């Protein structure tokens, strides 16, 4: 048996750690994606030092649905930053990070729903005992009062434990990060010192090239180390989250059974009434687990559907970015093409060729720089507009949801638990569907607005390049006595080329868009099938659970009433664990992939170092002059740096991804 004070303390401790865990995960995601947590390496006397910025403040958060919803809105804003400002090649990685944060967030929401439902159901059961004359009103009032006092005590414990655990976990992660980054810096410093000594003995140009490659390699090493640490910390938090979530569920059962035992012992609750109450509790707990299975599977389906659609939007944005660059480059190439064509036709003295090409390059760079600057500025303005609109519509949805809850709160209008659970299921399901429909609509609108912005600025840039070609260089060539008829023919040819280029890109965009839409539809069909399968599998598991439960209760064991009660309690504690968190499979898969990638990369890097050592040894015995040896050593080291850079930039191939997934499936089965 658990005393009140111990139960309160334990519930407070575990709930507080759970809150700190979820919020810390959210903080790490936001820190990583928005670069609030900055990794800065300053050069001083050719030494690289690092400073981990810890200026971000950890905000207090109340554990209630209103704040949960607000935080979900803020997290949802991240998609605008990804679509607007993330580099094209990094978009999918950024989206995956957001997906993990959203799954972690969903786990927290579901756990909050579970706790609220359990508390409501226990309250309804106690009131029903009074209505059936199985419990005196003053006893029900006293037991309900105990629950309220426990909840107040838990809330106080949550705040205190939240403060302590948040600081402790953040400090622990920062310490591990700092140690790893310091080790990385020491390695970089040693490489820089060796490079400095070597560069003193060789010409400037090879030295600059070597130093540039070395800096690039160090940046890649730091980026991959940060990525590895982030994923490692994700797994740590996910494990702790799951353990504490399960323990918290156990505490709910422990508190309920402790109160029933105490009330029976004091004679406030008759033995037969206690048996009825416990049997009803067991049945209702089965209904609650079935409801939570449905809510979890539904949430997983909707989140997977949301991110499949976002992947589709990213593919469209990447295609548009590629086409915008292709159009601008095509228009830019025509300027130098016109000059070269004129020179090859013999209409332009060779002495003017270099000057005109340099001027053309300067004009083209000026147009491209203005395009990039305008695009960045306009995206910033559009970002604020999109986020404002997004938050306004989501807050309207929140207010609408509040109205629904206040008008149709079954807890205030009925004592029928089945009706309450059914109402909760419908309400949460409808809210999830409405929220996802709104999210998809807002995501699509953001994508379309970004498309219009890019199209408009690309058109302006192309028109400006045409003006440079027709209004500047054609006129300049006319002044240099180039025949007008020749120039008119060249300009007309260029116009036709641009029309063909436009048509080619539009055709390519249509084809790729069709393929992407077909893939999206197939993905959605697959997700629907997975939803049905997962619900069926979980239903079979719950049926088996119920069968085991009934067999144990009906087994011919000589157990006292107290022992039977304890057995029921233990069974409920066990069965409450028979689900999986939403975030853990994704986080574990990322960890396995990172581990595989690190192992593969280290093996390849070791081969490069071994080859360098062997080549240096061979070359040293052949070359006698120090100058020749130094030049040759630099060439060897440059080649090794290029090889290492390629290893870091090389992506994990599909067959290796399949190996990782297979390994994870084996672990999950175990």
Q: Is the pLDDT of residue 62 over 80?
A: no
Rounded CA-CA distance 63/154 in Å is: 11
The rounded distance, in Å, linking the Cα atoms of 479 and 483 is: 10
Determine whether 277 is exposed, middle or buried from the number of CB atoms within 10 Å of its CB (0-12, 13-18, 19+): buried
Identify whether the C-beta of residue 25 lies closer than 8 Å to the C-beta of residue 104: yes
- How far apart are the C-alpha atoms of 661 and 670, rounded to whole Å? 14
pLDDT of residue 502: 93
Find which of 363-367, 611-615, 659-663 is predicted with most confidence, using mean pLDDT: 363-367
The 10s digit of each residue's pLDDT in 66-98 is 344 555 667 778 999 999 988 888 899 999 999
Higher pLDDT among residues 399 and 511, named by residue: 511
- Whether pTM > 0.85 for this model: the answer is no
Contact status, residue 206 vs residue 195, Cβ threshold 8 Å:
no
**Cα–Cα distance for residue pair 653/629, rounded to 1 Å:** 38
Of 450, 416, 605, whose CA–CA distance to 86 is shortest? 450
**Residues 583 and 102: beta-carbon distance below 8 Å:** no
With beta carbons less than 8 A apart as the criterion, state whether 54 and 372 touch: no
Q: CA 276, CA 50: separation in Å to the nearest integer? A: 65
Residue 667 structure tokens: 């672990």
Whether the pLDDT of residue 540 is over 50: the answer is yes
**Residue 660 near residue 589 (C-beta atoms within 8 A):** yes
**Of 420 and 70, the one with more pLDDT:** 420
Residue bearing the bigger pLDDT, 283 or 30: 283
Q: Using alpha carbons, select from 88, 128, 102, 109 the residue that is nearest to residue 29.
A: 102
Nearest-5° Cα angle at 418, 416 to 420: 70
What was the pLDDT predicted at 305? 96
599 vs 101, 179, 270, 562, 593, CA distance in Å?
26, 20, 64, 55, 10
Higher-confidence position of 160 and 577? 577
pLDDT 10s digits, 206-229: 777 878 888 888 888 888 888 888
CA distance 180 to 230: 12
Question: What pLDDT, in 10s, does the model give residues 97-153?
Answer: 999 999 988 988 898 888 888 888 888 888 888 888 888 888 888 888 887 777 667
Give the DSSP letter string of 394-426.
Answer: HHHHHHHHHHHHHHS-HHHH---HHHHHHHHHH
Residue 327's pLDDT band (boundaries 50, 70, 90)? Answer: very high
What residues have CB less than 8 Å from 601, skipping those under 6 apart? 224, 647, 648
Pull the structure tokens for residue 325: 């660059």
598 contacts: CB under 8 Å, gap ≥ 6: 228
The arithmetic mean of pLDDT across residues 247-256, rounded, is 84
Q: What is the pLDDT of residue 562?
A: 82
**CB-based contact 81:383 (threshold 8 Å):** yes
Binned at pLDDT 50, 70 and 90, residue 163 comes out as: low
């Amino acid at each position: 048996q658990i005393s009140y004070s111990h139960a309160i303390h334990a519930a407070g401790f575990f709930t507080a750690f759970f809150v700190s865990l979820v919020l810390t995960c959210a903080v790490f995601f936001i820190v990583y994606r928005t670069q609030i947590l900055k990794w800065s390496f300053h050069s001083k006397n050719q030494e690289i030092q690092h400073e981990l910025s810890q200026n971000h403040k950890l905000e207090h958060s109340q554990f209630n649905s209103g704040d949960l919803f607000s935080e979900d809105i803020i997290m949802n804003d991240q998609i605008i930053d990804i679509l607007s400002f993330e580099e094209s090649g990094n978009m999918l990685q950024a989206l995956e990070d957001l997906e993990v944060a959203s799954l972690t967030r969903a786990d927290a929401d579901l756990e909050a729903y579970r706790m609220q439902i359990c508390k409501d159901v226990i309250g309804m059961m106690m009131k029903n005992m009074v209505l059936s004359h199985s419990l005196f009103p003053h006893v029900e009032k006293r037991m309900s009062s105990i629950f309220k006092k426990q909840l107040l005590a838990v809330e106080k414990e949550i705040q205190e434990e939240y403060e302590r655990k948040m600081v402790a976990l953040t400090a622990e992660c920062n310490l591990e990060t700092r140690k790893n980054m310091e080790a990385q810096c020491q390695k970089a410093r040693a490489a820089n010192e060796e490079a400095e000594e070597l560069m003193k003995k060789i010409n400037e140009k090879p030295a600059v090239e070597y130093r540039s490659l070395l800096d690039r390699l160090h940046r890649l090493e730091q980026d991959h180390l940060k990525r590895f640490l982030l994923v490692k910390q994700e797994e740590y938090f996910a494990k702790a989250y799951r353990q504490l979530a399960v323990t918290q569920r156990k505490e709910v059962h422990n508190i309920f059974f402790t109160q029933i035992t105490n009330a029976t012992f004091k004679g406030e609750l008759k033995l037969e009434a206690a048996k009825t109450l416990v049997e009803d509790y067991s049945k209702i707990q089965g209904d609650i687990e079935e409801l939570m299975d449905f809510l979890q599977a539904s949430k997983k389906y909707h989140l997977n559907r949301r991110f499949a659609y976002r992947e589709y939007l990213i593919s469209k944005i990447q295609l548009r970015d590629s086409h915008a660059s292709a159009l601008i480059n095509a228009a830019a190439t025509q300027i130098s093409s016109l000059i070269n064509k004129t020179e090859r036709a013999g209409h332009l003295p060779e002495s003017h060729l270099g000057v005109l090409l340099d001027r053309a390059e300067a004009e083209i760079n000026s147009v491209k720089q203005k395009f990039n600057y305008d695009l960045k500025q306009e995206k910033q303005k559009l970002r604020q507009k999109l986020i404002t609109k997004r938050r306004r519509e989501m807050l309207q949805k929140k207010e609408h949801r509040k109205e629904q809850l206040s008008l149709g709160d079954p807890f205030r209008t009925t004592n029928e638990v089945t009706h309450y659970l059914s109402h909760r299921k419908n309400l949460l399901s409808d809210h999830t569907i409405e929220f996802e429909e709104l999210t998809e609509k807002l995501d699509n609108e953001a994508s379309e607005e970004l498309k219009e912005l890019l199209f408009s600025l690309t058109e302006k840039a192309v028109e400006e390049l045409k003006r440079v070609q027709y209004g500047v260089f054609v006129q300049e060539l006319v002044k240099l006595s180039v025949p007008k008829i020749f120039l008119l023919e060249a300009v007309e040819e260029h116009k036709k080329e641009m029309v063909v280029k436009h048509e080619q890109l539009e055709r390519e965009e249509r084809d790729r868009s069709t393929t992407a839409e077909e893939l999206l539809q197939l993905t959605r069909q697959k997700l629907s099938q997975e939803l049905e399968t997962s619900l069926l599998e979980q239903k079979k598991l719950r049926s088996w659970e119920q069968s085991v439960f009934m067999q144990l209760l009906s087994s011919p064991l000589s157990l006292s009433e107290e022992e039977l009660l304890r057995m029921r309690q233990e069974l409920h504690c066990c069965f409450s664990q028979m689900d999986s968190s939403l975030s853990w499979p994704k986080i574990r898969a990322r960890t396995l992939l990172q581990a595989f990638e690190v192992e593969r990369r280290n093996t390849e890097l070791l081969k490069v170092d071994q080859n360098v050592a062997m080549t240096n040894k061979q070359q040293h015995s052949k070359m006698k002059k120090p100058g020749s040896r130094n030049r040759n050593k630099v060439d060897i080291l440059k080649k090794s740096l290029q090889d290492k850079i390629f290893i870091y930039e090389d992506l994990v191939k599909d067959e290796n991804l399949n190996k990782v997934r297979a390994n994870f499936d084996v672990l999950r089965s175990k």
